[in-house]
Homo-oligomer: A and B are copies of this chain.
Amino acid sequence: MKQEIRICGFGGQGVVLAGHVLGKAAAAYDGLTAILTQSYGPEARGGAARTEVVISDRSIGYPRIVSADVLVAMSQEAFHKFREDIREHGIVIVDPDLVIDHQVERKTYRVPATRIAEELGNKITANVVMVGALTSITEVVTRDAMMQSVLETVPARFKDLNRRALEAGFRAGEEARSVEATLALTGE
């Protein structure tokens, strides 16, 4: 079992933190191995930010994500930049309010993470909503592991907000799965 996950968006959305909690959930709580790659440079200063996480049940050599199993896109620019790099059986998860144009020849899940986070009181947690959705859509890590990882990572005073964000993300992922399944059945 090896899953390569690319999370991308714009600077300030917490894309690297999202990758970090995912890697930590896998390694510290699910007994897997994870490697995270993050970029600095022009990309990391406002443009399209990205992080890649490779998760495996065995030791990982050197990561080289050229094509991903899962692409999570939180901005239109990042989506356009990375849309090509998805495996044939890979999936796409987008925030449809930020990635308006997201037609691809891949299984696509729509998770309005930023709107959900705003409804919970702080759109800064959109990244946590998104990793919650990623968790329930892909099951690459367990929900328990992800919850522990998030709560271990965020400052004490934000724990409650982030717990609610993650739970909302789990539910949003389930909804996105059932919508995707319905669209697949009706041939859309």
Task: Using CB atoms and an 8 Å cutoff, list the residues of chain A in contact with chain B.
Answer: 23-24, 26-28, 32-42, 44-45, 59-60, 62-66
User: How many of these chains are in the complex?
Assistant: 2
Least distance between A132 CB and chain B CB atoms (Å): 19
- Which residues from chain B contact A35 at a C-beta distance below 8 Å? 37-41
- Which residues from chain B contact A64 at a C-beta distance below 8 Å? 62-64
Beyond A62-B66, A64-B62, A64-B64, whether A36 also contacts B40 by CB under 8 A is yes
Interface of A is mostly: mixed
Beyond A64-B62, A64-B64, A65-B62, whether A41 also contacts B32 by CB under 8 A is yes
Least distance between A36 CB and chain B CB atoms (Å): 5
- Which residues from chain B contact A42 at a C-beta distance below 8 Å? 27, 33
- Which residues from chain B contact A59 at a C-beta distance below 8 Å? 41
